[in-house]
Amino acid sequence: MTERVCVIGAGSAGIAMARALVLRDIPFDCYERGSAIGGLWRYPTDPPADDGDADGARSCAYPSLHANTSKTVMQYPSFPMPDDCPDYPHHTQVARYLEDYADRVGLRERIRFDTEVTRAAPAPGGGWNVTLGDGSAHHYRAVLVASGGRHGEPLHGRFDGEFTGEQLHSMDYRGPAGFEGKRVAVLGLGATAADIATEISRVAETTYLSVRTGHYVVPKILEGRPIDRLSPLMSKLSVEQRRPLVKLMLKLVHGDMTRYGLPAPPYKVGQGPLVASSELLPAIVHGRITPRPVVVAAEDRKLRFADGRSAEVDAIVHCTGYRIAYPFLDREHVGDGDDAPPLYHQVVPPQTEGLYFIGLLHSMTALMPLAEAQSEWVGDLLAGTVRLPSRERMWARIRHARRRQDKRFHDSSGHLLVDPREYERLMTAERTRKD
């Protein structure tokens, strides 16, 4: 059995995992289908650090994208973002930060860029066989999947009839150019929908925001500081303990979401992610964005909404999320894509030896700190300094965790949503568990 392990992906989760392996002297190969570090943060035309081309990996970035969590919340605990970096960095600054994080431990020369993993499957006799795009096959004792599968397959809004205008998913959005003077419908209400609708509304004749599920919208800045930079006291509180305070803040700052023509969120504060945007609600009250309920039908270029009203539009932008997809893994390992596969602590499939998922979760704030925490734990598991509990105990914990998630979080989270501080404490506990 080879001692080498395989890391799939060199985005924010993949480089955290690779760093943990370097620090433990565990031999590994890291494959990245793009030509630069950064994964989903690497805009397709961003120049990488070398002379290559950054195209090759799909990205959720668009030219104007800024982080919707502040730098002190999104940064890796082991590597703070520079002091001169703004509170909400541009995607190019995040990509550069990820490169600096990787270069700090010499990862760049250990990553095989422009290399796609086409299949990973358990090998007879143990370990994993990994096949690359060039047809070569390699054997590893473990596979560490960090390839952005939560954004694996774009989902589009569904409605009856046929729309004959332009349609695109937010993954293919490249800025407001081309929407000048047009009538545009943006479907969805997440951070991406808020960004794109606001940006398009500056040049479009009319911008509709079609919303199926309401969410709480919060400003990015409150009292001169990022809203997600909690006080030491707040950071110690649970989701339930923070709820009355956050609810009061929302009432004072923005009031009821229905006053803006948006649907009321079908869950309590803290049971789903907050949409951080300082521009969406002002654009609505200024008349640049017109909220509408979900689209139920289309005929030619006319859209009919759930409230019976109609509108003629020239283009639809689907900001409607993604399905989990890892095309190189068999379905038995990842499920149907609509929900997360059952994983112990969102990382380990109990029924499968040597397979780990890094970054397959939805944090209420940012992924990077949690990916690093996961990577440290998995690094300890591979180094043999800690061990997993029995399969029976892992399955019992998964069932308990999912029942708790169903009670605490909105059902659209797909068992991916976690409270970041609680999850970090969980990872710390796993690294010291002795039973």
Q: CATH number of the domain that 400 lies in?
A: 3.50.50.60
Between CA 54 and CA 43 the distance in angstroms is 8
Is 409 found in the same domain as 288? no
Please tell me the predicted confidence (pLDDT) of residue 413. Answer: 62
Same domain as 234, residue 268? yes
Task: Give residue 50's pLDDT.
Answer: 43
Give the three-state DSSP class for 218: strand
> Which residue numbers in the chain have pLDDT < 70?
1, 45-58, 230-235, 411-413, 434-435
Write the CA distances from 278 to 188, 195, 222, 342, integer angstroms.
17, 10, 10, 36
Domain final residue, candidates 318, 338, 358:
318
CA distance 225 to 220: 8
For residue 74, give its domain range.
5-152+322-432
pLDDT at 233 (0 to 100): 60
Tell whether 106 and 200 lie within a shared domain: no
Tokens 């545009």 identify what position?
Answer: 184
Total domains in the fold of the chain? 2
Sorted by sequence, the CB contacts under 8 Å of residue 187 that are 6+ apart come out as 157, 193, 210, 294, 295, 316, 317, 318, 319, 320
> Do residues 133 and 181 both lie within one domain?
no
